[in-house]
Structure 1
Amino acid sequence: MAIAAFAVLFNTALAKNLPRVEVFLLVLHVFGLFAIITVLWIMAPRASARDVWFEFTNAGGWNSKGTATMVGLLSPVISTIGYDCAVHMAEEVNNSSSTLPKAILWSFTFNALLGFIIAITLVFTLGNVEEVLASLTGYPFIQIFYNTTKSYTGTNLMTLIVILTLTSSAIAEVATASRQLWSFARDRGIPGYRWVAHISPAYNIPLNAVLVSSLVTSLLSLINIGSYVALNAILALTVVSLLTSYIITISCLVLKRFRGLPLPPSRWSLGPWGLPINVAALCFLAPIYVFSFFPLATPVEAETMNWAIVIYVGVMGFATIYYFVYGHKVYLPPVALVKRDEYRY
């Protein structure tokens, strides 16, 4: 809740200084990562290349290592999605139609490279896997830091870098989530859209949407007090929801391309590579989408069950009922405004 409140502060009273803060956080992100990597390279024990590249552990009790690998993709996939967050700030970005696609591609490429480096570093330096996973801290990466430095001070400093980086990401998450919520409310797509879509003259931002995003975050954090199983189900739902939105959006593009229908005019285009890239993206997303509903281990019990499917069906059911009962009467899709402006001019 404190982190959520901190993020709200930066998105309201300090909103004008957000670009400067983001630059500072980018520097922290890069130099902090290399600081951690350097310590691990110099001080950590080394695993053999054979163990790193050819030894597989099926800790979930699945019938094959392939199934275990696919189920285990849930965590790494989280780091490869969410780059669309920049799109939600489009109406506050100059020259957004060309700036945002470049920002998405550069941020993904840059972070994928850094992510690959840190991943390889960790698997070469993590030491005894069972010991790391059984860490009393509850966080294996902290145990790796301690095993490397043999120092509480060194471990705390390295962990602090991770905490600051995650906290800074919360600032950006609140900004993008509030804008997405605001734009959907502006299109009259959610209950209470008039209040949520209000722009505060004092801050010149969707203050109500920011506060709602913070409130939802705080309420969700309380779930962990009663049941970490329920919280994990909601966190898993985040991945499934994003994958669903990607699949629907890309499928619409593929369908239009196969039908030979024109796509909306744009300043950024993949050209002739558009269709193959779209199809490849769907082939990549589809199996991950299916395995996102799998539990992490077998045999499955109530506490180890992945309850994301239940919440997913409930949310989709509520949204569908709301749309057919009331939403379709007031919802105004952005494409209608675009066509109106084209007709006008």
Structure 2
Amino acid sequence: MGYPRKLTRRFQAFDNFAISFTVINIISGIFSGFGFGLNAGGPSILVFGWIGVSVMVLFVGASMAEVASAYPTSGALYFSAGKLARRHKGAWSWYTGWLNFVGQVGGTAATGYAAATFVQAFLTLQWPSYEPTGHRTVLITALIIVVQGLANTYTVHLVAVLNRISVWWLLIGLVVIVGALTVIPDQHQPASFVTYFANNTGFTSGLYGGMLGLLVASWTFTGFDASFHMSEETVRATVNAPRGITRAIACSAIAGLLLMLALVYAVRDYDRVAAADAPPVQILIDGLGVGTAKALLLVVIGAMLFCGLANLTSNTRQIFAFSRDGAMPGSRWWHSVSARTRTPVKAVWLAVGCSLVLVLPGWWSRTAFTALVSVNVVGLFLAYGLPILLRLRLGDDFAHGPWHLGRWGRPVGIVAVAWIVFSSVLFMLPHAAPLTVTSFNYAPLALAGVLAVATLWWFTSARRRFHGPVGYGRPDEVAAMDLV
């Protein structure tokens, strides 16, 4: 791909799959977004929306996997955009990279925020006198993200081990939670309950309220580009990276549907659960009792912490690669690699700092979580869509890698781009009515702010020096530069 090797290839096929499966993290995504879905469409959107979004995301993932097989680098999306564009390679690469950056930062922030919310739910069960507040949520989120940054700085080998453990934590946790919700409660909702629709968003249009509920599944299915970003640390990346992407999505779709059904059918009093501060926790308490609910809540919190750790790891690899080509302020800092760990430590702390900035509005905003989720979903999926669009424009000129879709590549790519455009517009719209300072969806402002800075910088200076991914020389010259 034209780069000297700086990162050690320590990831096997399972490790590459594990990091995307962990970042998708069905337990974290479903538990954190379930309450929003109950009020934006109810069981019908939670279940059938999950199935529909899973299919659409699999189209996106398959198209991305085809590109990943052709360009297996840490730069991933922005690198491939620069290589696939016929003209204006620098601009395509530039905007793809910045969208990917803000989307991943949003993912790290949203996952940490979700974990902090459920930590407070556990503390409330353990000590009833504890009072959860928005300020405490922000502070706990900051602590979580900083600890994850320290782990990526000082215990890199442990992080790799934790990524492997996380898969089994998710799978075993899923079996335990689904089994408990299926067997223990003395009553369940009737089979027809999955068709129940509810619109408690404040908007008069049930169609609009129901479409907003698709955010639950879309938020869960983000971050599978992690397998792409870890390519330079993966053995046989041209095959294992695309397999990691598609397998992570497919496994998450099936396992997530089982978890979604278990939670939906365990709802006892719909109105009471939908109005709760943490609806999934209320479901666990109603069906399993406080003691069991607390134990399973620890499983959920653990899954969220694993998810945030993997997301931060992927985030730093994107920053490392983008900076390697001089596309970020202070690039020489962010693409430097620690001599001890062979990882981009400074990039870790840039990701941590930017995530903390995105979390700050949670100090006053009651829609902070859904705004963070929107930043994550829209930023990432637009970054996913640009290389896929460019691959479609190339047509038969696209030089595919060992893993490819053959004649299905074009129709799959068209569906993927159409879904990305639709969902990106939808999730930038208001999430609650009436619109106030505390209910405003600030995701458009966050994304617009980053893109405004990127655009200003591009036209004032970057377009004269940034022309896309940098080539360091011929393959034999690059091989001579290998540092590991």
- Asked if the contact 1:200–1:206 (Cα under 8 Å) also holds between the matched residues in 2, the reply is yes
Deviation at 1:217, TM superposition (A): 2.6
Q: How many residues align?
A: 336
Alignment of structure 1 residues 80-95 onto 2, 5 Å: 80-95=221-236
Give the counterpart letter for 1:164 in structure 2.
Answer: G
Deviation at 1:35, TM superposition (A): 0.5
**Sequence identity percentage:** 24
Alignment of structure 1 residues 95-106 onto 2, 5 Å: 95-106=236-247
Deviation at 1:22, TM superposition (A): 2.0
Aligned mates of 2:385, 2:323 — CA distance in 1: 23
Deviation at 1:4, TM superposition (A): 2.0
- Structure 1 residues 231, 62: CA separation in 2 closer, same or farther (over 3 Å shift)? closer
Q: Which string of whole-angstrom CA distances, capped at 9 and with x for unpartnered residues, describes residues 17-53 of structure 1?
A: 333222222111111111111110012331112222x
Aligned mates of 2:145, 2:446 — CA distance in 1: 24
Aligned mates of 1:191, 1:184 — CA distance in 2: 10
Which of these residues, 144, 164, 169, is aligned with residue 283 of structure 2? 144
- Asked if the contact 1:70–1:288 (Cα under 8 Å) also holds between the matched residues in 2, the reply is no
Which of these residues, 155, 169, 182, is aligned with residue 293 of structure 2? 155
Alignment of structure 1 residues 5-154 onto 2, 5 Å: 5-44=146-185, 45-52=187-194, 54-135=195-276, 138-151=277-290, 153-154=291-292
Q: Which string of whole-angstrom CA distances, capped at 9 and with x for unpartnered residues, describes residues 85-110 of structure 1?
A: 12111111111111110011111111
Aligned mates of 1:63, 1:87 — CA distance in 2: 41
- Asked if the contact 1:133–1:140 (Cα under 8 Å) also holds between the matched residues in 2, the reply is yes
Which of these residues, 140, 143, 166, is aligned with residue 304 of structure 2? 166
The residue number in structure 1 matching 2:135 is: none
State yes or no: 1:316 paired with 2:451.
Answer: yes
Give the counterpart letter for 1:86 in structure 2.
Answer: S
The residue number in structure 2 matching 1:302 is: 437
2:385 aligns to what SS in structure 1? helix
Aligned mates of 1:62, 1:49 — CA distance in 2: 28
Aligned mates of 2:368, 2:218 — CA distance in 1: 21
Give the counterpart letter for 2:449 in structure 1.
Answer: G
The residue number in structure 1 matching 2:323 is: 185
TM-score (norm 2): 0.65
Which of these residues, 234, 241, 245, is aligned with residue 379 of structure 2? 241
- Asked if the contact 1:188–1:332 (Cα under 8 Å) also holds between the matched residues in 2, the reply is no
Aligned mates of 2:368, 2:439 — CA distance in 1: 11
Higher relative contact order (CA 8 A, sep 6+): 2
Aligned mates of 1:175, 1:39 — CA distance in 2: 32
Which of these residues, 461, 466, 471, is aligned with residue 337 of structure 1? 471
Deviation at 1:228, TM superposition (A): 4.1
Give the counterpart letter for 2:234 in structure 1.
Answer: V
- Structure 1 residues 343, 20: CA separation in 2 closer, same or farther (over 3 Å shift)? closer
- Structure 1 residues 227, 236: CA separation in 2 closer, same or farther (over 3 Å shift)? same
| Structure 2 alignment gaps of length 5 or more | 1-141, 479-484
| Structure 1 alignment gaps of length 5 or more | none
- Structure 1 residues 328, 221: CA separation in 2 closer, same or farther (over 3 Å shift)? same
Aligned mates of 2:308, 2:188 — CA distance in 1: 34
Q: Which string of whole-angstrom CA distances, capped at 9 and with x for unpartnered residues, describes residues 73-93 of structure 1?
A: 112211122211121111111
Deviation at 1:343, TM superposition (A): 11
- Asked if the contact 2:202–2:433 (Cα under 8 Å) also holds between the matched residues in 1, the reply is yes
Aligned mates of 1:239, 1:265 — CA distance in 2: 27
The residue number in structure 2 matching 1:281 is: 416
Aligned mates of 2:178, 2:329 — CA distance in 1: 47
The residue number in structure 1 matching 2:401 is: 266
Give the counterpart letter for 2:363 in structure 1.
Answer: I
Deviation at 1:5, TM superposition (A): 3.0
